[in-house]
Amino acid sequence: MKVCIAEKPSVAKDIAEVLGAKQRKDGYYEGNGYQVTWTFGHFCTLKEPHDYTEQWRYWRLEDLPMIPPSFGIKLIDNKGVEKQFKTIETLVTGSEEVINCGDAGQEGELIQRWVLLKAKCTAPVKRLWISSLTEQAIKEGFDKLKDADQYNNLYAAGSARAIGDWLLGMNATRLFTKKFAVGKTILSIGRVQTPTLAMIVARQKEINAFVSEEYWELKTIYRDTEFTATIDRLKQAEKANKGLAYLKEHPFEITSFEKKEGKEGNPRLFDLTSLQVEANKKFAFTADETLKHIQNLYEKKLVTYPRVDTTYLSEDLHPKIEGIMRDLTPYAALTAPILAKPIPKLKSVFDDKKVTDHHAIIPTGVYPGGLPMEEKRIYDLVARRFIAAFYPECKISNTTVLGKVGQIEFKVTGKQILEPGWKEVYANDVKEKKEGEEDEEKVLPLFVVGESGPHKPRVHMGKTTPPKPYTEASLLRAMETAGKQVDNEEMRELLKDNGIGRPSTRANIIETLFRRKYIEKRKKNIYATQTGMDLIDVIQSELLKSPELTGVWERKLRQIEKGEYQMETFKQELIQMVMDLTREVKTSAYKTITVTAAPPPPEEKPKKEAKPREPKKTVSIEELNCPKCKAHLLKKGNTAYGCANFKICGFKLPFEVLGKKLSDKQVTDLVTKGKTTQIKGLVVPGREGAVDGKLVLDEQFVVGLE
């Protein structure tokens, strides 16, 4: 009998269906020579300090550093886990072959290998490695099963990561807590968590230290076009007024008119981080929320494997693109121009050298019916980005005009979209213009060098602004590039090996910092709390808080994955670092840190933290976007809310439905979640008396009764 072990019951069910294992047993499916069972996430974990020696149960400086002679694993203390593990253990013991069907990534490999290690598996092991859960992908995967040894380096990298996190986290947390904390406070230190917090604290200090200064600029309007003086900003109003008087004495003269045609390259396909960034910018989704939504879409067979850090596709996928495009029926109007000619093999999309275990996130072509509103939005982002990648580039014209008034030089720039190209895919998007941002399109008149004439000069007074606080979007980007401010996509690709954390773990790191009360969110912005700032101040070691140095560790972990670095070498380097750190902190001067909401005392075994409930988010009507095309939702007279892009989109939501005037909350629920809570006294045509029920938006975005 061949035993398949999936990472979730739902995935096991899909695999069993394809293999013909139709008979449902207690904890597995059976049939056609297969038994298909499952874990549900992590079943095993590295042993805790007290599992090695009773002495390490208690938090004492004299016991540090804790360096186990070898690292062991144990089952998580959970009745459900224990019961299911017994099933796996029994099946594996009687198997002729085991097929590892875990998530096809580093974490999935680690989960499965630890389970097989704990179950003392002696049967030969094969590996199912697929990028989507469609029936076709599962069949193709079983036709091309890999030898498990091909993924030994991936397992080694996962083990090295877990051991590294244990060595640093367990020792540094106890070290700093016992040295600097007051009372029951625990100072949590982590290999990725601490440098991430250090970036937020550094930005916070810049903001706190910032002193706003007034400045003055000379501007003038010539032929209905506003020009700005190219001289440095003036620090005194008196100088600005003198400049203004000077400008009034001279005519405006055009000295240069330059028009250049250029192109705006297509946006790259999504990796997980860029998807999280886009969803945060567009819908204010947290990184964790986006990860959950895209994982759900993957398990519903709608998108490919999401925990990826590449924006490219493997070249062997090129023949399948046309079929996927044809299957995207909700986007038929957008895919038609692509399907009118052969799909190009673009270098910006297909590159085997840029793809490791998995390719970028794309749709599978399965029809996305009946999705919750949040998942619809994430699917729409993925589908449109996939389509946009195959559109022509956007052709633009950039214009630069120089002029002068007497001896003072002026400048204005403009941009014109000549051929929208890929921007047609986003034609219905309404982008909010932030203060100080240029219009996407600013068409300038035709000027002739040497022309001159009267103008209207003025003085503009402004104030310098502090650095912007991090949002989840900008923080994810900073983690990806180890704190370097990089806008260029090519450069970001090169820095990914040195990013801090992995795409799949960054969301959890940010959530951990919130949970520890080291950071807080105000609207979309992230700020360091006083506790978070105190913690970073007390850490003198750059090794613990430097994004660049943490990025070096991440690169070594990736090298282990590629077989270019030894796991044992990495482990010994971390052991040495922990020993040096312990010596340094033990002899350092005392400071104290207290947090308001203290975790359990170090003398007790900390209880497993319950995940805090998210505070309810209140969204005003003015902040809502159209559920159909994502444009703003506006009040249309006294009868309905409607899409700002109504002539094209056509979405509207009446103030009153089935005899009930909708409250702001009910409108918000309908637009953001696709349904309301229970409403009493609805009047349904054709039914006697009022009824209670929930209002829902159907797939055509029409309101009806559930």
Same domain, 84 and 231: no
Amino acid 639: pLDDT: 77
Same domain, 220 and 247: yes
Distance CA 666, CA 679 (A): 9
Summarize pLDDT for 508-525 with one digit per residue, the tens: 999 999 999 999 999 899
Distance CA 501, CA 154 (A): 16
Residue 495 domain boundaries: 172-208+469-586
Same domain, 510 and 567: yes
Summarize pLDDT for 370-383 with one digit per residue, the tens: 899 999 999 999 99
Same domain, 335 and 411: no
Amino acid 626: pLDDT: 80
- 25 in any annotated domain: yes
Structure-token pair, residue 492:
């970001």
Structure-token pair, residue 573:
């380097």
Cβ(138)–Cβ(299) below 8 Å: no
Amino acid 637: pLDDT: 65
Which position has the token pair 């960034």? Answer: 277
* Mean pLDDT across 446-463: 96
- 595 in any annotated domain: no
* Mean pLDDT across 548-564: 87
Q: Residue 706 pLDDT > 80, yes or no? A: no
Angle formed at CA 482 by CA 480 and CA 486, multiple of 5 degrees: 70
Residue 619 φ/ψ, nearest 5 degrees: -120, 125
123-137 in b/e burial notation, b at 16+ Cβ within 10 A? bebbbbbbbbbbeeb
- 162 in any annotated domain: no
Q: Residue 76 pLDDT > 80, yes or no? A: yes
Q: Residue 195 pLDDT > 60, yes or no? A: yes
Structure-token pair, residue 63:
């016991």
Structure-token pair, residue 218:
């000379």
DSSP 426: G
Same domain, 191 and 221: no
**Pick from 388, 412, 445: which residue ends a domain?**
388
Distance CA 205, CA 517 (A): 17
Confidence of residue 492 (pLDDT cuts 50, 70, 90): low
Cβ(240)–Cβ(459) below 8 Å: yes
535-553 in b/e burial notation, b at 16+ Cβ within 10 A? bbebbebebbbbbebbbeb
Average pLDDT of the residues of the chain: 87
Summarize pLDDT for 171-185 with one digit per residue, the tens: 999 999 998 888 778
The three-class DSSP label of residue 567 is helix
Q: Which residues contact 439 (CB under 8 A, 6 or more apart)?
A: 433
Q: What is the CATH number of the domain that holds 376?
A: 1.10.290.10
Distance CA 238, CA 240 (A): 5
Amino acid 663: pLDDT: 85
Same domain, 454 and 555: no
Distance CA 565, CA 559 (A): 5
Q: Residue 163 pLDDT > 70, yes or no? A: yes
Distance CA 134, CA 14 (A): 9
Q: What is the CATH number of the domain that holds 405?
A: 2.70.20.10
Distance CA 98, CA 1 (A): 9
Domain count, the chain: 5
Amino acid 600: pLDDT: 40
- Supply the residues annotated as catalytic: 305
Amino acid 433: pLDDT: 40
Q: How far is CA 376 from CA 101, 565, 630, in A?
A: 28, 42, 11
Cβ(443)–Cβ(468) below 8 Å: no
Burial of 495 (0-12, 13-18, 19+ CB in 10 A): middle
Looking at the DSSP assignment, which residues form a beta bridge with residue 395? Answer: 263, 419
Angle formed at CA 226 by CA 221 and CA 231, multiple of 5 degrees: 100
Confidence of residue 24 (pLDDT cuts 50, 70, 90): very high
Residue 15 φ/ψ, nearest 5 degrees: -65, -45
Concatenate the DSSP letters of all residues of 256-322 into one string: EEEEEEEEEPPPPPB-HHHHHHHHHHHH---HHHHHHHHHHHHHTTSB---------B-GGGHHHHH
- 603 in any annotated domain: no
**Pick from 463, 492, 519: which residue ends a domain?**
463
